Amino acid sequence: MKYVFHYSMKLPGILHLTSIVLKSRAEYALIAFTFPSVIGFLISSTGPLSISQLIKLVISVTSVAYSIYLNNDLWDLEDDIRYINLGKPSAARRPLAQGLISKKGMKIFVILFAILGLGSALLINVQAFLAQLCFLAFGFAYSVEPIKLKRRFIIKYLTLASGAVLSILTGGFASGGIPGRLLFFIIISFIIYFGLGSLNDLRDLKWDKEVGIRSFPVILGPKITVRLMLGVLFGVMGGFILGYFQFRFNVAFPILGLIILAGWSYSIYPLSYRYEDESFVKKVVVKRTYPYWMLLLLTILLGSFQF
């Protein structure tokens, strides 16, 4: 592979390479972890919002998430190269696998993002620092040999869900409190992320079989995987009803929540019989599932307001 990291010692090259690296993992770092942490911060805030705390929170969670995913790219390089040869689109978009950056260059990004993330968390408070330190540790354990939790059935999904919990907790610590509504949000997020992890692996079914990754779609089959996610969404529907009465959310919370969850369930149901259609799977998992999740996050936030 031809690396272009040598030219990046000049500022324009550094900025260009950084933008490529950031773009490659923005979907996961920003949507999966940063956005929920911000929602957690807003839910937990009881007085005037501290913009400085919010900025430090965004920098912290985003940087730690990038460090985790870029480190994952380092440890998955050989698999990604193999994936590219097998025709996997997501592997072909990763800068390291494309040869756009050297392993040494990627290690620098991993270290810098880890320092920036943990440093920003420490500026928030000790609790936020410890939460992000645990997030970083779990994230590295997910990829690093010989632990490599991503190859351990079920544990990989628990690790992903734990990362979401720690990010949301960091938002609570940044705002200065952990109210009951935030705990409800954490429980709901843990359940959804557990299901989303298995649904996301549906995109990689063919390639995971090739390299021996024990994912839900590989072990249980795609139909049961889709049913698992549907079961998660129906369970969350029940949680929204209970949450409305137990945590005094406003009336918009159960109404909008049930509508969004019903629409989400309707959108993924066809995957149970169209799982072999790669373009359709990608369309449902990425272009439909992520927007529904973001709408649900906004609904939880809206539901916490008292009119």
Find the angle CA(37)-CA(214)-CA(287) to the nearest 5 degrees: 45
- On the question of pLDDT at 3 being above 60, the answer is no
- DSSP string for residues in 105-173: HHHHHHHHHHHHHHHHHHHH-HHHHHHHHHHHHHHHHHHSTTT-GGGSTTHHHHHHHHHHHHHHHHHHH
- On the question of pLDDT at 170 being above 80, the answer is yes
- Report pLDDT digits (tens) over 180-195: 999 999 999 999 999 9
pLDDT, mean of residues 134-158: 91
pLDDT, mean of residues 91-108: 85
Domain residue spans in the chain? Answer: 23-151, 179-307
- Report pLDDT digits (tens) over 32-69: 999 999 999 999 988 788 999 999 999 999 999 999 99
Question: Does domain 23-151 sit in CATH 1.10.357.140?
Answer: yes
pLDDT, mean of residues 138-144: 93
Let me know if the fold of 23-151 is the same as that of 179-307: no
182, 168 Cβ separation under 8 angstroms: yes
- Report pLDDT digits (tens) over 244-268: 999 989 999 999 999 999 999 999 9
Phi/psi for 159 (5° steps) reads -65, -45
Q: Which of 16-20, 112-116, 143-147, 160-164 has the lowest mean pLDDT?
A: 16-20
Which pLDDT belongs to residue 86?
66
Which pLDDT belongs to residue 5?
46
**If you ran DSSP here, which 8-state letter would residue 270 be given?**
T
For the chain, give the percent of residues with pLDDT over 90: 57
- On the question of pLDDT at 230 being above 90, the answer is yes
Instruction: Give the residue from 135, 140, 130, 111 showing the smallest Cα distance to 174.
Output: 130
96, 73 Cβ separation under 8 angstroms: yes
- Report pLDDT digits (tens) over 88-99: 666 667 888 888
Which pLDDT belongs to residue 169?
97
Kindly give the residue spans of alpha helices, DSSP state H, lying in 212-306.
216-220, 222-246, 252-268, 271-274, 278-282, 289-303
How many Å apart are CA 213 and CA 223, to the nearest integer?
18
What's domain 179-307's architecture? Up-down Bundle (1.20)
Which pLDDT belongs to residue 11?
65
